[in-house]
Each structure stands twice: as structure tokens, then as C-alpha cells.
Structure 1
Amino acid sequence: MTDRKTMLAQMTRRRMLLGSAGLTVAFGMLPGSLFAQDPISVAGIYTVPVEQQWVSRIHVAAEAAAEQGLITYTFSENTANTDYPRVMREYAEQGVQLIVGEIFGVEQEAREVVLDYPDTAFLLGSSFMPDPEYPNLAVFDNYIQDASYLSGIIAGAMSETGNIGMVGGFPIPEVNRLMHAFMAGVREIKPEAEFQVSFIGSWFDPPKAKETAFAMIENGADMLYAERFGVSDAAQEKGILAIGNVIDTQSDYPDTVVASALWDFGPTLAAALARIGDGSFAADNYGLYSFMKEGGCSLAPLGTFDGKIPQDALDMVAAKQAAITSGEFTVEIDDSEPTSS
């Protein structure tokens, strides 16, 4: 991995800018009795570095909870799928009360571990809904389609050609629904927009994502959807615009990243801690805490692009956001694999 120290510094800066206020609100909603209890022991198990977009949001939320004294927190990163069950067992054997992470590539093996440790709570990213046969396993993923849709409206307004490139990791529901929501937002402004869609087969391969994005630019794209790290680098080098995903990277690409759909894991973690605290933790779908109306996602501040986006697009974003928050408008959740048009 290139210049890990620099990437960690960037992540720390983003955490300071983006995470503190929302996480404080989320944990501030916890019952007062939880603050009086001993900290809940939490372990994170991640298959990628903690600076990777998706995992970074879990990591940042856990660190914030630890700073507030609600939890003790340790983690393992770059855990291979083949090692994941073993690491789960090691933390459970140590008496960790809550294990968080993602099991998209090791679903069945992880569930076998869960059954062996009924007194341990597991909150794991998964492509499947909760199953009462695994009563101590709650699942989640980043249902941030609301914010992705809004970012698509902005992308449609800022793209001159309507040719938009989209680079994703894998075509799994967690990625597919965000891409579809983004595309729906774009079409609100540019109904005839065309999309180039490609998946790189990795959660963390910036060079491959960059090369894929370069090919899309050569094929006419003037706007990129950066679901993976590396895409915004290609946009910056070629002088076109990009839309970010999960975290706000505009400080790193001030002339490139127009807007980003942000994921806040704080409400998800806060809900789990509250239920562990009162003894009610059970198999449940925590993905709902990522919805905009729950405070789990938002559109990043426009920052350097403030005043550069057409007002009619901003008016539409404001109206749609109000409707989403009030429940008057629902962004469609489409988990099917998106394809190029």
C-alpha cells in the first residue's frame, strides 16, 4: 500500500471535519444509564485497511464512542476471508461483548462462529437479512441511497455531455443500490444521460480503479462516480469532475470532487450499544439506521463548489431532501446489477 502514513493523516483530518458533530448527536441519544455502565468491549474485524471508505466509517464511529468512554475498542485490519472465522473466535474467546465488521465474502463460515458464542453480540455487514436461527447476529450495510440520489442530481447539473463513468468494487447489493440511486438522480436533470459502468473486482485497488476511470474518460465521460479510491485521481489528472461516495474527499481534490454522499455509522453503532446495554440485542436489520431520516447519511457540504452549481439543481436537491426526510418521497432501492447504457 502506498504511503500509509499519509493516508492515515488524511483520514484523521476527514474524521475531524466530518465525523464529530454527527457522531456526538448519535451517541448523545443513548440512554443515560449506558453512560453510567462500564464501557462495552468492542472489536472490529476488517478485510481491508481502516482507511478504505466503507470500513473507515465503522472505524471512525467506534473511535468516537471510545473517546466518549462508551466502549473499549480494538481492531484487526487486512484480515483475509480465510482467516476471518479464526479472528472472530479469538475475540469471542477473549470475552469481547460486541464484534463488528463485514462478512460479505464469508457469510456461512461467520454464521457457524456466531452459533458457538451465543453470549457475544455480532453486528456485521452482510448481504442477507437477519435470521432468527442466529439470534445474536444483527446485520447492516450502508443504505445511503438517499444521499446518492441527491449527489446524482448535482452530477447531472454539472455534466455538460451527460456521459458519466461509474467505477465500483463488486456488483453486490450494497454497491448496486447506490449506483442506481445516483443514476436516478442524474436523470432528474439529464433524462438522456448515458452511463459507463465497470467493477474492478476489489475493495481496495486504487491503481486499477484509476486505470478503469482513464478508459471511461477516453470514451467521453466528463463526470465520474468515484465509488472506489483511485477514480478521483484519474478525474483530477484529466481535468474533469467527480462525485464521491461514503466519505468526503473534497479537501484532497478541491477542484475535482463536486459533492459526496456521506455515510455516518454513528446511529447504527449507537442503536447496537443501547440494546446491548439493556439486554435486548437480537437478530435485526440495522441497515435502516443508514437512511437519511435516521441521520445515517447526508450530502457533503459543497465547499469549493459553493456558488458553482446551477441554482435550479440546488433547489431540486433541497426539495427532494425535505421530502425524503419527511417520508413524502422514497428513493427506490434497486439491488440489481447496473449496466452501461
Structure 2
Amino acid sequence: MTRLIRTPLTRRLMLGLAAALTGAALAPAAMADAHEPLKVAGIYTVPVEQQWVSRIHKAALAAEERGEIAYEYTENVANTDYPRVMREYAEGGVDLIVGEIFGAEQEAREVAADYPDTAFLMGSSFKEDMGPANLAVFDNYIQDAAYLSGIIAGSMTETNNIGMVGGFPIPEVNRLMHAFMAGVRETAPEASFQVSFIGSWFDPPKAKETAFAMIENGADVMYAERFGVSDAAAERDVLAIGNVIDTQADYPDTVVASAIWHFEPTMDAAIAAVKAGEFTAADYGRYSFMDRGGSSLAPLGTFEGRVPQDAMDLVAEREAAIKAGTFAVEIDDSEPKSQ
């Protein structure tokens, strides 16, 4: 999945698009029949097994099982083909289209403007005011859980050397890495970080090789933002921290903790808005926050009782404060560097 990296030129293009679309689709998407399941389509640029997309897919399947929606999806859609698939679903009478347009921002927003009666809920690094009123955006703001996983990682490192492998340095990834690093410093203030991006959203072999290099350079805990990192950690007998999904069962001797994304609050809010005829441009990112049930720290599984108790006490204290609104994890979208 090739996601759009924001540059000054990109931002000017998007601002120009927003201006061009002013007045197009100024009203909410049309109300769906409240007595019929909502027709929902997912469009994904990677397999539904991929960690990020799997969370959207899981939430849609749950809504379908409850009888709220009729769900269909297309996976492995190239960015260049994404607008065509959007149009096909919109022409077919789908009420809500969900997906990720990081690599086709401008084209996707142009399609949405052509179908004002269709609701579009799209993963994006841009905000809702950059296009038509029937296109809402989201991102996985799971910095709360990433921070808590960092507290655990800091308590487990013996070398004070942490390796971090990401896909691309875009806001979605950057904020999680920064939050994780902040958590590490709570229990390992002298820790150093090796940070690298592999330039791909799904290249486990490359992520694995990058992780090997960091381990050779002294890292004894790996932040596995991408698939492949935990495999390297397992082979080199070091620890790993997972991201978005819980892989502890797959790596019982390696993955200590994971920051989990729950897309259900985001999906459910969008479904309710469409059914009520109130869906309009909005930023659904807030539904990924821990206090909305959008993220959590996965159970420790085989590492239960192996993490220092003072670290777990701090995790419990900070988690309670986050949910109560008395502690906020900083959201830093700047590119993290090795330090």
C-alpha cells in the first residue's frame, strides 16, 4: 500500500481541490432505509489479513453479524485503480464505502463529489475539510495504547537499546512511535532508539532484515510496527512489542505486549450517522482514542507475571488517568529520528 507522503506541493494541490469542491455536496449523504441493512463496501489496497485493514474488516463483519449491514469488499486494489472501484460501488447503490485513500487522495475526493448521496469513510492523513461534505476521514489514533506498551518495553530492556521499524514516516505511524518512545522513557530514561522506515506497508522480508540489523547493533526490544519484525526478534531471541493487532499467541516467547486498534467505535458511529441521514464531513479519528474504546493494551499472555510489577502499576495508573481524561498522551506527528 503506497500512502501519500505530505509535502508542501501536495498540500497546495489538496487546498486547490478543496476550493474546487466548495459547494459540491453541501448536505449530508442521503438517509438510508432504517428497516433494511445498510449496504456497506470496503475497498482495500492490501489483503484483509494485513494488520491495519484487518481491524476495519473485523468491525464490518461484526456489524454484518448483528444484521445492521450487508457487507462486501474488494482487496488488493492498486492506488491507480482505486477511483474506478469506488465508482463501481457507488453506481451499484452502496450506502457507505469505507477504505483508505492515502495513495489516491485527490482522485478519491473527486469521486466522492460525484456521488453526494453515498457516504465515504476513508482513512486519510488529511482532514475532513479538504473535500466534499459526504467524505469523512479517520486514522488510527492509538497513541494511548502505544504509550502504555512503551512503559512495558522500557521495563524489559537490558541494553537500553530499542529498535523501531516502520512503514512510512506519515502522521499515523509517527504519532505511535513518539508515544511509544515517551512510554519507554518512563521506565528507561536513558534508553536510545534506532528508527528506520522500510518504504512499504507490506514487505515482511525487508522489515525482518531491517530488524536484524538493529539487533546486531544492540537492540534487545523491537517495536514491530510492520510484519516481519517479530519474526526477526524471535529468531534472535530478543523481545518485541506489537502494533494494531495482538500477535502474542503467534510469538509467545517474543511479543510482550501490543497496542490494539479497535475500529468498531468508528464503524458503528458512521453506520448510525448514515442511517439517521446525518453523515457528513467529519474527523472520526477521535473514536480511536482509548477513552472511546478505540484502543487498548493487549493481554500479556505468556508474559503475565514476567513484567516488573512497578511497571504494571504505572501502566494501570496511567490507563485509568487516560480513560478519566486527567492524563493525555502527546500527539506528535513529526518524523521520529534515531536518538
TM-score, shorter chain, exceeding 0.5? yes
Conserved in 1, the CA contact under 8 Å of 2:33 and 2:275?
no
Secondary structure of the corresponding residue to residue 248 of structure 2: coil
Runs of at least 5 residues in structure 1 that lack an aligned partner in the other structure: 1-33
Query: Aligned partners of 2:108, 2:117: CA distance in 1, in Å?
Result: 15
Aligned to 1:165: 163
Q: Is the aligned partner of 1:291 residue 2:289? A: yes
Match 1:128 to one of 126, 137, 144: 126
Query: Aligned partners of 1:269, 1:35: CA distance in 2, in Å?
Result: 18
Aligned to 2:302: 304
Shift of 1:162: 1.1
Q: How does 1:1-341 map to 2 (within 5 A)?
A: 37-131=35-129, 133-341=131-339
Query: Aligned partners of 1:255, 1:264: CA distance in 2, in Å?
Result: 25
Secondary structure of the corresponding residue to residue 66 of structure 1: helix
CA RMSD of aligned residues (A): 1.1
Conserved in 1, the CA contact under 8 Å of 2:86 and 2:111?
yes
Shift of 1:37: 2.1
Residue deviations 1:85-132, cap 9 Å, x none?
011001101010000000011111110101000000000000011117
TM-score (norm 2): 0.90
Equivalent pairs counted in the alignment come to 308
Whichever residue aligns with residue 227 of structure 1, its letter is E
Conserved in 1, the CA contact under 8 Å of 2:162 and 2:222?
yes
Query: Aligned partners of 2:119, 2:131: CA distance in 1, in Å?
Result: 14
Query: Aligned partners of 1:211, 1:77: CA distance in 2, in Å?
Result: 27
Shift of 1:191: 1.0
Runs of at least 5 residues in structure 2 that lack an aligned partner in the other structure: 1-31
Query: Aligned partners of 2:317, 2:67: CA distance in 1, in Å?
Result: 39
Whichever residue aligns with residue 135 of structure 2, its letter is L
> In the superposition, relative to structure 1, how do residues 133 and 210 fare at CA in structure 2: closer, same or farther (>3 Å)?
closer
Secondary structure of the corresponding residue to residue 160 of structure 1: coil
Conserved in 2, the CA contact under 8 Å of 1:255 and 1:304?
yes
Shift of 1:192: 1.3
Shift of 1:224: 0.1
Query: Aligned partners of 2:252, 2:141: CA distance in 1, in Å?
Result: 26
Conserved in 2, the CA contact under 8 Å of 1:259 and 1:299?
yes
Whichever residue aligns with residue 293 of structure 2, its letter is G
Query: Aligned partners of 1:231, 1:268: CA distance in 2, in Å?
Result: 28
Whichever residue aligns with residue 225 of structure 2, its letter is E
Conserved in 2, the CA contact under 8 Å of 1:132 and 1:283?
no
Query: Aligned partners of 2:50, 2:210: CA distance in 1, in Å?
Result: 18
Shift of 1:75: 0.7
Conserved in 2, the CA contact under 8 Å of 1:155 and 1:186?
yes
Whichever residue aligns with residue 102 of structure 2, its letter is F
Secondary structure of the corresponding residue to residue 128 of structure 2: coil
Secondary structure of the corresponding residue to residue 286 of structure 2: helix
Percent identity over the alignment is 76
Whichever residue aligns with residue 117 of structure 2, its letter is D
Conserved in 2, the CA contact under 8 Å of 1:262 and 1:297?
yes
